[in-house]
Structure 1
Amino acid sequence: MTTQNAINWPEKYLPGTCDNFVSNEVIARGVTADRVWRHLTDTSTWESFYDNVSDISFPHGGGPRLEDGREFSFSTFGFPPLAARVVEFRAPAGGEPGRLSWTALQDGPPEERLDVLHAWLVEDLAGGRVRVLTQESQIGRPAAELAGQVPNPMLNGHQAWLDGLLAASR
């Protein structure tokens, strides 16, 4: 029996307790966790394989590579730039999965407030395969509105991100 690794969830963002939650996963051959990790953590490549992200910036310097504690901002899903901060960052190594997560916030009146945790897990599997899991929990009225749409734009958008990430990594 094989047990798969899972996302580390802070209590505040626990799936099923928020206004919107999506989970996307790809398992593929022909690419390694290290290659995926390089593209995932280098924000300068995102727009080349994911058309739902723009206006990436690093207001306090650094970048374009993500690292633990790094603050950045970006636009996605029609929202104005979200203020983001990396809260978990561990590259894949020694058989352990890579882990990346960031919080992203949009302030404003209650109908515009959004609080998000977007997490990634990247790991090599037996047989020359890689597994990439991305999950996001969202709190706020905009999140509840997204959750009520069919099909869920977050689910489809994140699948496009995964597919583009794998293509770029190959």
Structure 2
Amino acid sequence: MNEIIWPQDYLPGFTENFVSNEVIIAGLSAAQVWPLLSQAQRWPSYYANSANIQFHDHIGPDLQDGVSFYFETFGFPVEALCNEYVPPTLTSPGRIAWHGWSGEGDSRLDVHHAWLIEDLSGGRVRILTQETQKGKPAEDLAKAKPNPMINGHQDWLDGLVGAARLSPGM
């Protein structure tokens, strides 16, 4: 299966925190899932931990490589820059990733959040989301039990799948 493409400074294992969540679901396709993730303003409709999505100098509705945007999640106001945007095809996975940051000094949190959506045999789709984090807040999140990042990203995946099942064409 395919994997996330990491910027050198955000390789898992070399940052303060790393989380990975994945689902493989029958009866959905990458084409059905993609618009729900690529259109950031739709996130709050199925993921309660996202809010106030705003584009900077971009009309949308889809994210694109180089687009800057703002959103709130896990109690953090996040400025973000989409740095990977490749829609899925019948033979290759869709990829979306962004660098996000919040705070300054000791409260600064930097993340690389990446998604991979690919069709598998038998009418299945694989949705993988992984995030690496740097900074003191990342250290604190890594130690928290239960892990808020693992649980939050699972909620995002579950909401994404639920919304895709309800989308037109299902």
- The whole-number CA distance in structure 2 between the counterparts of 1:43 and 1:149 is 27
Q: How many positions carry a matched residue from both structures?
A: 165
Matches within 5 A, 1:71-82: 71-79=68-76, 81-82=77-78
Match of 1:57 among 54, 64, 76: 54
Structure 1 segments of 4+ aligned residues over 3 angstroms from their partners: none
Paired residue secondary structure (1:58):
strand
Choose which of 145, 153, 156 in structure 2 pairs with 1:150: 145
Shift, 1:61, TM fit: 3.1
Query: Does 1:122 find its partner at 2:120?
Result: no
Select which of 42, 47, 70 maps to 1:45: 42
The within-5 A match list for 1:4-23 is 4-23=1-20
Supply the RMSD in Å over aligned alpha carbons. 0.9
Structure 2: how far apart are the matches of 1:157 and 1:126?
28
Query: Which letter maps to 1:165?
Result: L
Shift of 1:62: 2.1
Aligned residue number for residue 93 of structure 1? 89
**Deviation of the 1:65 alpha carbon:** 1.7
Q: Which residue of 2 aligns with 1:133?
A: 128
Separation of aligned partners in 2, 1:53 and 1:44? 9
Pairwise CA distance, 1:151: 1.2
CA shift, 1:39, in A, is 0.5
Tell me the equivalent position of 2:168: none
